[in-house]
Every structure is written in C-alpha cells, then in structure tokens.
C-alpha cells in the first residue's frame, strides 16, 4: 500500500469560512483559566423546566415532530411576540433547532448569488459566513465606539446598491452590548421600506435590557425575519431550541429549508418549554438584577486599566472596551489567556473590532474582579 499523504478535496464553500477567533482562544486556555469570554448564562435552568424535560422523556416525546415545531409552543411564542404586533399568530412562527440554525435557514431562504447583505461590524460571528454560504456578498456597515455603537445610517445608505437585498440588525448587540435607540430604530425601518430590503433582526438578548427600551422588528413583520432563542430566557443553550417570526408568505419557504437542514427541531425540549413557558418571565426577572450588578463591576474594572475605555452597555451581557496600547487584539487576547484570563479579540467580530476586546459578565462577580486584576497587570506591563 502506498503510504503517501494527500489533502482531501473539499468544497470552496467550506474553505471560505474563516477560523473562529473565539474558538482559537478557548483551545489555548487551561482548565484553571478565568472565563470572561463565554456567551452563555452561568445559571442552571429553572427547576420547573428541568422537571418538564424529564416528564417529556417519560411520556415518550421522542418521535419526529412537525418541521415548524409543535403548535402549542408556536402559539405561546406568538402570544409573547404580540406585544410588538397584535396580528402575529402561530402561523408566523417557526421553532428552530437553535438561533444559529434559524439564522442559517433564513439566509439560505432569502439570499442567493449576486445579492448583497448589509451586516453590522463589529457584529456577531455568524452573519458574514452565513452570507457567504448563501452565495451572497456580505457588506459591513460600521458601528463605532464614538457613536456608542449605534448604526451609521448615512454609511448604510451609501452602501446600498441595486444588488442589496438584506439588512442584518442585532439589538441588544453581541459583542458591543449596545441597544438601538428609538431614533436608530426608526431610521433603519425607513431604510428597509424605502429600499425594499429584507430585515434579518437578531433579538436573542431582548430580555437583557438595563437601560433604554427594546425595539423589535416584529413591528414590520411583513418585511422582516426576527430571530430569537430560549438559550438566554431559560438558560438552556444545550437544548438547542430557538424560534423565528416571519411574514406568512415566507414561513413555508423557510420551513422547507429547515426540513432539509434538520428535518424538525428537537421534540422533548419543545414539550418541556411549552409546559413551563411562563416561567421564563420570573427567571429573567431574577437574573437581570444580578447581571446589572456584574455589569458595573466589569465596566468599573475595565475603565480602571490604563489605556482602556468602555461604555456602560445597555443590554446583553458583554463589554467591548477600546484600548490605546499598540498591540493587535488577537495578540493581546493570546497574552491574556497565557496569563489565565479568557476573552475574545475584537477582530473575531470583524476588522472594525481591532483595538477592542470582548468580555462577558456571564461570570461571578469574584471571577470578574480577579480576572480584570490579571488583565490590568498584563496590560500595564506591555
């Protein structure tokens, strides 16, 4: 047998996906590292949700379900979303196998070769590759520290061409923690309507607002796909259950795409979440004040580091400080993880994230204080 090695032939599609700048840092970390980089709640799911999951298993809810998700859960989601738009019903709702899969299904349904998709930068890591995997061209629009990471409306308008088909919006934002002002929200709605664009609105952090108000693009559901997830409102990221809302004429197309991606969302957690749906209200009401306290500890600690500057984030659970030290964010993140603190380099979220780091305060106050003490020591030794 010939022992010569060869490179497997793979698609240009998969080769187009950039390695994750966040995953790179996690793979370098030791077990004892203080984790200020993880984007998931450090709380157990509510006891009622865990018991309901066990009950669903005992009741043999282990079969394939409907591609759009079970009707009881879709109806409950519609009821929650009706606070933004009264005429939304379960027919507008698809339960997805995570917000991540819902995002892919929406992009694959709406965009194709030759289309351009406006995406925020810095912005969540899925938007660029999901555009590319749909054969569309991602066109970043700026969110700047100086403007508190509000979208640059004029820059968006200047980026629109006859090929522009989509506008991606994320509020509250990962990684910046910014929340759309009413002025920005109205301006973005006007752009979508004036230029006949599909809005893809990622609203998975809608329950984590510390100042201001959440403005949902469910208000213009006739031209929007609004993405959401139970990962944050129930602390169940491993259950992989999300949902989206879309106009009636689009729902069946997204459902058809979803069938070919996952067939159907997982069945047992859908029945569990449907049974205890209202528990998420009390759960969020309990954890948000804790995050608000952690937020202050995080921002105070970051602004105490020479050369670091950080706005008080209005939502989500991320801080995105800028820094003046002459070192690339990837290199600085490497230095920090080598010294026992995990955070994400700003460039993991696009080129405009350079000279920033992303920290998560989904960690204990003790870890935040101890972790930032290490950050301060490393940064001030540069």
- Residue 31: the pLDDT is 82
Q: How far apart are CA 109 and CA 117, in angstroms?
A: 13
Q: What is the mean pLDDT of residues 221-239?
A: 97
Q: What is the DSSP string of 264-283?
A: S--HHHHHHHHHTTTHHHHH
Domain spans, the chain: 12-44+281-380, 47-276
Which segments within the chain are labelled E, that is strand? 34-35, 93-96, 116-121, 137-142, 164-170, 198-202, 224-229, 242-245, 308-309, 318-319, 322-323, 341-342, 344-345, 357-360
Fold match flag (12-44+281-380 vs 47-276): no
Lowest mean pLDDT, pick from 9-23, 114-128, 171-185, 236-250: 9-23
Helix axes 329-338, 21-28, angle to 10 degrees: 20
Tokens 């955070």 belong to residue: 343
Q: What is the pTM of this model?
A: 0.94
Is the pLDDT confidence value at 1 over 60? no
Q: What is the mean pLDDT of residues 235-259?
A: 97
pLDDT in tens, 68-83: 999 999 999 999 999 9
Asked if 212 and 181 touch (Cβ cutoff 8 Å), the reply is yes
Asked if 227 and 76 touch (Cβ cutoff 8 Å), the reply is no
The SS3 call for residue 5 is coil
- Residue 371: the pLDDT is 98
Burial of 117 (0-12, 13-18, 19+ CB in 10 A): buried
Helix extents (H) in 44-147: 47-58, 71-81, 99-110, 127-133
Is the pLDDT confidence value at 6 over 50? no
Q: Would you identify the CATH topology of the domain 47-276?
A: 3.40.640
Is the pLDDT confidence value at 36 over 70? yes
- Answer whether CATH 3.90.1150.10 is correct for domain 12-44+281-380: yes
- Four-residue CA torsion sign, 115, 156, 101, 333: positive
- Asked if the bond preceding 172 is cis, omega within 30° of 0, the reply is yes
The SS3 call for residue 142 is strand
């Amino acid at each position: 047998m010939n022992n010569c090695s060869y490179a497997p032939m793979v698609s240009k599609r998969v080769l187009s996906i950039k390695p994750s700048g966040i995953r790179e840092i996690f793979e370098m970390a030791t077990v004892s590292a203080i984790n200020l980089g993880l984007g998931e709640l450090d709380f157990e799911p509510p006891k009622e949700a865990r018991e309901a999951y066990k009950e669903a298993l005992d009741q043999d809810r282990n079969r394939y379900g409907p591609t759009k998700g079970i009707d009881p859960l879709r109806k409950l989601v519609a009821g929650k979303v009706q606070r933004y738009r009264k005429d939304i019903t379960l027919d507008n709702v698809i339960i997805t196998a995570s917000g991540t899969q819902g995002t892919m299904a929406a992009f694959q349904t709406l965009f194709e070769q030759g289309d351009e998709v406006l995406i925020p930068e810095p912005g969540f890591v899925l938007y660029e590759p999901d555009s590319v995997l749909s054969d569309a061209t991602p066109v970043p629009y700026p969110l700047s520290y100086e403007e508190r990471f509000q979208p640059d409306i004029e820059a968006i308008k200047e980026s629109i061409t006859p090929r522009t088909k989509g506008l991606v919006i994320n509020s509250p934002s990962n990684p910046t923690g910014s929340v759309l002002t009413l002025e920005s929200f109205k301006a973005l709605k006007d752009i979508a309507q004036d230029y006949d664009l599909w809005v893809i609105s990622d609203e998975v952090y809608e329950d984590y607002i510390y100042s201001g108000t959440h403005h949902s693009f469910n208000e213009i559901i006739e031209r929007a796909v609004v993405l959401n997830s139970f990962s944050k409102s129930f602390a169940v990221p491993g259950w992989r259950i999300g949902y989206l809302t879309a106009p009636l004429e689009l729902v069946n197309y997204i459902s058809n795409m979803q069938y070919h991606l996952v067939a159907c969302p997982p069945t047992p957690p859908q029945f569990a979440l449907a049974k205890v749906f209202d528990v998420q209200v009390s759960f969020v009401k309990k954890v948000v004040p804790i995050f608000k306290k952690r937020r202050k500890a995080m921002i105070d600690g970051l602004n105490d580091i020479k050369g670091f500057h950080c706005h008080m984030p209005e939502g989500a659970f991320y801080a995105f400080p800028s820094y003046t030290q002459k070192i690339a964010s990837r290199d600085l993140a490497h230095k920090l993880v080598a010294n026992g603190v995990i955070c994400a380099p700003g460039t993991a979220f696009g080129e405009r994230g350079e000279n920033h780091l992303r920290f998560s305060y989904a960690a204990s106050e003790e870890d935040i204080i101890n972790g930032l003490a290490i950050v301060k020591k490393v940064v001030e030794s540069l």
